[in-house]
Structure 1
Amino acid sequence: MTTYPKKALLLALAAATVAAGLTATAGPAGAAVPKLDWKPCAQPGGPAAQECAVLPVPLDHADPGGRQIHVAVSRVLSDRPSARRGTLLVIPGGPGGSGVQRLTQKGAALQRELAGAYDLVAFDPRGVGASTTASCGLAPEDRYLTSLRSWPGPDGEITENVERSRRIAEACDRNGGPELRSFTTANQVRDMDRLREALGERRLSAWATSYGTYVAAEYAQKYPRRTDRWVLDSSGDPDPARVARGWLANMSRGADDRFPDFAAWAAHPDRDGDGLRLAARPEDVEPLVVALAARLDGEPRPSTTPGVPLTGNGLRQALQNALYADAAFPSFARLVKAVQDPAATPALPPELARPIRDEDAAVMVGVICNDVAWPGTSTDAYRAAVAQDRARYPLTAGMPVNVLPCSFWKTAPAQAPAPITDDVPSDVLMLQSRRDPATPLSGALKMREALGDRARMVTVERGGHGLYLGNGNACGDRAVTTYLTTGRRPARDTYCAN
């Protein structure tokens, strides 16, 4: 994945914020839509023509004339105006993913693939990046990925998880304010439509990935006549009673679906050449990783990051991250090799080596807890669920069903999520990996069922998460490109061999 100087992009967006304050105003319903004041913000590795602006949106869409907050937006105009047919919105995953960053990473590839058919537009949802943020004021130790993900302790103990979850919920209630309470999928959908208005578009096309597919599905449900060509890449189960709780629970199955790809790679004789072969047979790789994680549970290893040892849960989380893309397999294999070597000092993956920024933690927790009410399940019930999941899915060790701050959340959701139905135009193309560690095929099939004749689904014989122009294959990429550029979808659900 392409990286870019985040500080430079944030500075560019900050400048755009000042300009927006001078040129854009948002008034009550019926007032003029604010003008987007675009400024150059190209970053190394991204499109040379990338521009940034800021869109004012109501903190509370029920009070459109009230307090306004800002949403950072970015675009890359079509480089072939004669071929342009509309605007393609790039919707990131998360919650907490940056659309502006996603456009920086994927904009050049989209330009090549779509041959000028669209202006490419993205935005940072409220709470993300250079958009209006909130803070829960969490201690650093509560902001590591292995803490926010609620990995159980050795032998499945969850007492510390319960205490941390309650502490995080109380801190967010105390410090998050109305901004944090506004971080919902429903508001992201309304902000998207505000952006559509500001762009002067009657309808939008979209490419959404991961959590973004749920955002896109909710937008199409609420504004069915404002969608054009809609691509959902790596979808989860849209069950309105569970939402993120269901997505997390499904990760146990997702890891099991995907791990055989890593095991086959790690046991292949080709790994001997680079010293990364972990076992002679694929079936021996999982017991090895599970045993190493259990050993680290009892004896964490000092790492190259002072004060941050590699724990069993650190190894498990590193595995989850590595399963997203084949390109990450070598780095995880090197970590396993370092753990096996008593003389080595393991180097933590960057995402595990330091706490997550407090504002980023706030939006990650805020959206999933604000969207839908979580059951106030007893500690004993969580303990039993974790024990059962650990036994069935050793790779995820009970984390996907463990307690989270949402069980102690102080603010009730403003509204229930809208069920996804088939009672709108048929303009959705789904792209799905057969072995997705985060949004497994079993969950995506629930989205497919909910959409009914609105959608066609292309299933790709690949492992990984987020397929188009990344982890997929030529057949799947071609299906998406053909749909976005010509409007032609497969006549029925179809399959792409690897």
Structure 2
Amino acid sequence: MSSPVPVSYRHGGLVCTDHTIDVPLDHGDPGGPSLSLFAREVVAEGREHEKLPRLLWLQGGPGGRAERPNAAGAWLRRALAGHRVVLMDQRGTGRSTPADRLTLARFGTDHHAAAGFLGHFRADSIVRDAEQLRRHFQGEQPWSVLGQSFGGFATLTYLSLAPEGLSQAYITGGLPTLTGHADDVYRAAYARTLTHNERYFARYPDDQRLADAVAAHLETHDVRMPTGERLTVRRFQTLGITFGTSAKFDSLHYLLETAFTDGVRGPELTDTFLRGVDAAVSFAERPLYAALHEPIYAQGTRPTAWSAHRVRQEFPAFDAEQGGPVRFTGEMVYPWQFEEDPALVPLKGAAEALAARTDWPALYDLDRLAANKVPVVAAVYHDDMYVDREHALATAGAVRGLRTWVSHDHAHDGVRADPAVLDRLLAMADGRD
């Protein structure tokens, strides 16, 4: 199938050009089924005819579309000072061929087939897509990549599978464990999430009373979300996902202050509160995040087996049934969410098959990383709730020539919040820092 002609337009001082190419579902079978891959090239207005180097943005996730120019973080304007920026909707997201409850319905009850399909949506496939996109733009000339969070994971896969495609790699909050199992990831994540709970309640001490009151109300009342399903205590607890970024750390506080109103039958949870909860905990806009969150760590024969769910038992502070103060969970996905979230219910069988899979291909080539020749600089956030600092630094030590900057001043979204983060990485890469 031929690719549409690129479409260009101007927006807010930017020149944007939309591109769509076809890529194989399985890069090992280029003659098999294909997917549509969408990417938007952005250049500063007035510089559209200059020969600027291209920088590929690999966003966090998994399962998140690329940022749109009208809502992009602080990094974009800084990057455009010297680059053409390519915003690629990773396969399954945005304007690329979507993978969600509607498109996966074609598999019916063949959950193993659906799981096999979703197995092609990890970092290895994303990197191979990026390589086809690079050749679409500039032939065999390498480009640079900026990987944020899961995009950093994909960057390490890029360095493992196709380092010849990269001239420079920048990573922010995204150095994964190269050999650890998902259990190791979540065991460290639960401990960090408890620390972020303590910080939150130290800042807003009265919110403990409110959170406990909401949980008690949910235990004794059939409270329905805007989408019709019952709001459970355990789903309410997943609001701690907001603790990991500077932009959203305080959002739970302003949500909790709207929680209750005096109804005909006594205290009731408000529509404002329930709509806010739904916006934060629903996976309707990013179902792949839930389906693939543990598989992004899977390599070899050991299954993930709902790692976050199992490891949670080692941290009784998160058990609301024990009667203690409510503690919110963070970046974890649980099997019961595929029963309670309407956007995930149709994906339950596929998710269970993914959790049981025992033949995962490797995502990282340790020997190639140890012999790496691509210049790599990485921002490691000291108190990152989502990516473990010690895992990140161990990985940095395993990649030849990788230079790190450990920041105590930024949360996981530092590159989006402050242009100084990318400025520091660019200076490190240029030898100015």
Smaller-chain TM-score range?
Answer: 0.7 to 0.9
Partner of 2:427: 482
In structure 1, how many angstroms separate the alpha carbons of the residues matched to 2:20 and 2:217?
46
Partner of 2:6: 38
Q: CA deviation at 1:127?
A: 1.3
Determine which structure has the larger helix proportion and give its number.
1
Tell whether the 8 Å contact from 1:78 to 1:84 is kept in structure 2 after alignment.
no
In structure 2, how many angstroms separate the alpha carbons of the residues matched to 1:478 and 1:398?
29
Tell whether the 8 Å contact from 2:75 to 2:415 is kept in structure 1 after alignment.
no
Structure 1: 4+ residue segments shifted above 6 A: 137-140, 381-384
In structure 2, how many angstroms separate the alpha carbons of the residues matched to 1:239 and 1:446?
9
Tell whether the 8 Å contact from 1:98 to 1:128 is kept in structure 2 after alignment.
yes
Picking from 357, 361, 379, the partner of 2:287 is 361
CA RMSD of aligned residues (A): 4.0
> 1:123 and 2:123 equivalent?
no
Q: CA deviation at 1:289?
A: 6.7
Partner of 1:218: 157
Picking from 245, 261, 275, the partner of 1:348 is 275
Picking from 393, 404, 413, the partner of 1:466 is 413
Tell whether the 8 Å contact from 2:143 to 2:165 is kept in structure 1 after alignment.
yes
> 1:427 and 2:375 equivalent?
yes
Partner of 2:129: 191
The normalised TM-score by structure 1 is 0.67
> 1:390 and 2:316 equivalent?
yes
Question: For residue 71 of structure 1, what is the amino acid of its counterpart?
Answer: L
CA 1:184–1:258: 2 relative to 1, 3 Å: same
Q: CA deviation at 1:255?
A: 1.7
What do the CA deviations read for 1:8-57 (whole angstroms, capped 9, x no partner)? Answer: xxxxxxxxxxxxx44x4xxxxxxxxxxx83213667xx664222111111
In structure 2, how many angstroms separate the alpha carbons of the residues matched to 1:257 and 1:383?
19
Identity of aligned residues (%): 17
Q: How does 1:81-480 map to 2 (within 5 A)?
A: 84-99=51-66, 101-106=67-72, 109-110=74-75, 112-114=77-79, 116-135=81-100, 171=109, 173=111, 176=114, 179-200=117-138, 202-242=141-181, 246-266=184-204, 278-279=205-206, 288=209, 291-292=212-213, 294-296=215-217, 298-300=219-221, 302=223, 305=226, 307-308=228-229, 310-320=231-241, 322-339=242-259, 342=267, 345=270, 346-349=273-276, 351-352=278-279, 356-357=283-284, 360-362=286-288, 364-366=290-292, 368-369=294-295, 371-372=298-299, 375=302, 385-391=311-317, 395-396=327-328, 400=332, 408-409=353-354, 412-413=358-359, 415-420=361-366, 421-425=369-373, 427-451=375-399, 453-462=400-409, 464-470=411-417, 472=418, 474=420, 476-480=421-425
What do the CA deviations read for 1:336-386 (whole angstroms, capped 9, x no partner)? Answer: 23446635513332654785349x42564147438536746889x998743
Q: CA deviation at 1:318?
A: 1.8
The normalised TM-score by structure 2 is 0.76
1:74 aligns to what SS in structure 2?
strand
Question: For residue 416 of structure 1, what is the amino acid of its counterpart?
Answer: A
Q: CA deviation at 1:180?
A: 2.8
Count of residues in correspondence between the two structures? 400
What do the CA deviations read for 1:152-184 (whole angstroms, capped 9, x no partner)? Answer: xxxxxxxxxxxxxxxxx9957256276434222
What do the CA deviations read for 1:175-231 (whole angstroms, capped 9, x no partner)? Answer: 627643422221111111111111115111111111110101110122223322211
Partner of 1:27: none
1:432 aligns to what SS in structure 2?
strand
> 1:77 and 2:43 equivalent?
yes
Q: CA deviation at 1:124?
A: 1.3
Question: For residue 316 of structure 1, what is the amino acid of its counterpart?
Answer: Q
In structure 1, how many angstroms separate the alpha carbons of the residues matched to 2:85 and 2:14?
13
In structure 2, how many angstroms separate the alpha carbons of the residues matched to 1:377 and 1:195?
31
Higher relative contact order (CA 8 A, sep 6+): 2
CA 1:460–1:384: 2 relative to 1, 3 Å: closer
CA 1:185–1:39: 2 relative to 1, 3 Å: same
What do the CA deviations read for 1:113-168 (whole angstroms, capped 9, x no partner)? Answer: 2453111102112211221234456999xxxxxxxxxxxxxxxxxxxxxxxxxxxx
